[in-house]
Structure 1
Amino acid sequence: MSAPAPLKKNDQAVPATGPEAIGASMRARVGDEIVVRGTTAGVIARDGEIVGLHHPDGSPPYDVRWADSGRVTLYFPGPDAYIRHLVTGDCHVPAR
């Protein structure tokens, strides 16, 4: 598999909007669910409840109580994670 061709002078990157816009735009509230899905076959998805924020705007990292173990850990979401806002049913899913 080869790398994508570099942008030419007149080419412009199209910014992601909506649920695909993750990264710096990821925001959560205490009580939201975070889901980490496997990126390869055989990798088990993991989910947990956000129980603490470190920034008032809801940006990462988060204190997460993991459903599978009950442990609370500091979590920095990667591109395989998304937030499920349980109050509104809103879901921010990363682009692949």
Structure 2
Amino acid sequence: MARHAGAATEVRINFRCTASMCDLSIQDDGTPIASGDPRPAGATPSSGLASIRDRVRRLQGTAVIGPRPDRGFEIRLSIPRSTIEQLTTDSSGNA
């Protein structure tokens, strides 16, 4: 976070799973980057915030990434719990 949060003095990380969804929220109070695609010119899709969006979409989830209304930056990810459980089962071989 220190590398990307600018002048942030506080970072909040929240993770919550319900019966149907798992949500991750990361917020800071630093200087936000501009809206839109934060990828630098010439960067590949495998880098940075664009990669997070792509990976979450592949998991049937949603990603909201951008400046906060007051100050700072926020990343909010929601992924269906069933998708996460399937990945865990596939990688461990256990149910």
TM over 0.5: same fold? no
Q: TM-score range by the shorter chain?
A: under 0.3
- Name the TM-score, length of structure 1 as normaliser: 0.22
More helix by share: 2
TM-score (norm: length of structure 2): 0.22
